[in-house]
Amino acid sequence: MARAVTNQRKSINTLIAWAIGFLIFFPILWTILTSFKTEAEAIASPPSFLFFHWNLDAYHEVQERSNYFLHFWNSVVISLGSTLVGLAIAIPAAWSMAFVPAKRTKDVLMWMLSTKMLPPVGVLIPIYLIFRDTGLLDTRIGLVIVMTLINLPIIIWMLFTYFREIPGEILEAARMDGATLRDEIIHVLTPMAVPGIASTLLLNVILSWNEAFWTLNLTAAKAAPLTAFIASYSSPEGLFYAKLSAASTMAIAPILILGWFSQKQLVRGLTFGAVK
């Protein structure tokens, strides 16, 4: 009897949760579906949900009429580039703070975090003018620099929380067993640090890929990543729903897939360890 009741409750939960999940996901699903329609079908009234002439015309047109892959490549270079440069700077810093904490380590960490609280619009003008005068406007290098700096605090924080979970005694044990510094780094530290570094990399690629303040303000055409490219569909191209959907689907697909792998790291990375 009790079991029947739980099963009934479970069924109701399942039903409600799936319905809500579907509703929240619907705009994304609708975008994906529309990208496979023709322009006429995309604005047909009443709209057809599944029974339309599935085709890839919109995708072809997006690439033909605007250099889509250039912007895709810009997004890859900017998000991956800034994350890798950020990691190269952050790994030693997080490493030393986690294993050789000093009196002021906590203050340094908090101060680094505070730079993340600076609203971008507060420093937009100086950065814009510096970029204008140094020829960095609308260059990928310029955006890699800005993205590295705005994500550096998050990268350091995430790495710090991961590194702190590596027990320091294990290093001493390895040393006792006669391991050289090289052995120590390759066989002991690296395997333990890699998962944390990978999670940090994943989350920061996602954050940089979707960043839309600096990319919109500091790029025009050449270095525009997908965020800025899609913004150019604002009007009137936005009224061609199939093309808008195709461009949007291609812009969000890689990150949706990466994002699903990074759910746990997301909480850790974005709450700075305040919620576990």
Q: Could you tell me the smallest distance in angstroms from the CB atom of residue 215 to another protein?
A: 9
Rounded Cα distance, 244 and 153, in Å: 35
The tokens describing 104, both together, are 């002021």
Residue with token string 């291609």: 250
Q: What span, in angstroms and rounded, lies between the C-alpha atoms of 111 and 1?
A: 59
* Contact of 253 with 35, CB cutoff 8 Å: no
Nearest to 209, CA basis, from 264, 153, 116, 147: 147
Residue 161 and residue 149: Cα distance in Å, rounded?
Answer: 19
DSSP annotation of 189: I
- C-alpha triplet 252, 253, 256: angle, nearest 5°: 85
- Which contiguous run of DSSP H or E holds residue 194? helix 190-210
Query: The tokens 């009741």 sit on which residue?
Result: 5
